[in-house]
Structure 1
C-alpha cells in the first residue's frame, strides 16, 4: 500500500492568497505574473522575429508584384 506524506494531505494554498500567519504578502499583479512567465529575452526575440518575418514577407510580396508587372 503506498504511503502518503503529511504534505500531500494538506490542501494546496493559493499562490495569490496571503499567508495564514499574517505575512502581509501583496497580491500578485497581472504584469508581475506575465513577467515571471515570459523571460525578457524571449519577448524581445519574439518581437524581433515577428518584425523580420513581416519584412521578409513584404519583400517576397514585392518581388511577385514587380514580376507580374514585367509580363
Structure 2
C-alpha cells in the first residue's frame, strides 16, 4: 500500500465491514419477523372481535 499501512489493516477493515453487514442484516430480519408476527396477531385479534 502506498499510505504506509500494512496489508493486514486492509484485511481487518474488510472483515469489520462484513461483520457490520451481517449484524445489520440480522437486525432487519429480526425486525421484519416481528412486524410480520404482529400483523398475524392483529388478524387473529380482529377476527376474534369481529361482529358476527
Quote the RMSD (CA, aligned, Å).
1.2
- Structure 1 ranges of 4+ moved more than 6 A: none
Partner of 1:52: 19
Matched, 1:38 2:14: no
Larger helix percent: 2
Q: TM-score, with normalisation over the residues of structure 2?
A: 0.65
CA offset at residue 68 of structure 1? 0.2
Alignment partners' CA distance in 2, 1:55 and 1:65 = 15
Unmatched tracts of structure 2, length 5 or more:
39-52
- CA radius of gyration, larger in: 1
The separation in 1 between residues aligned to 2:2 and 2:12, in whole angstroms, is 19
Aligned length: 38
**TM-score, structure 1 length as denominator?**
0.49
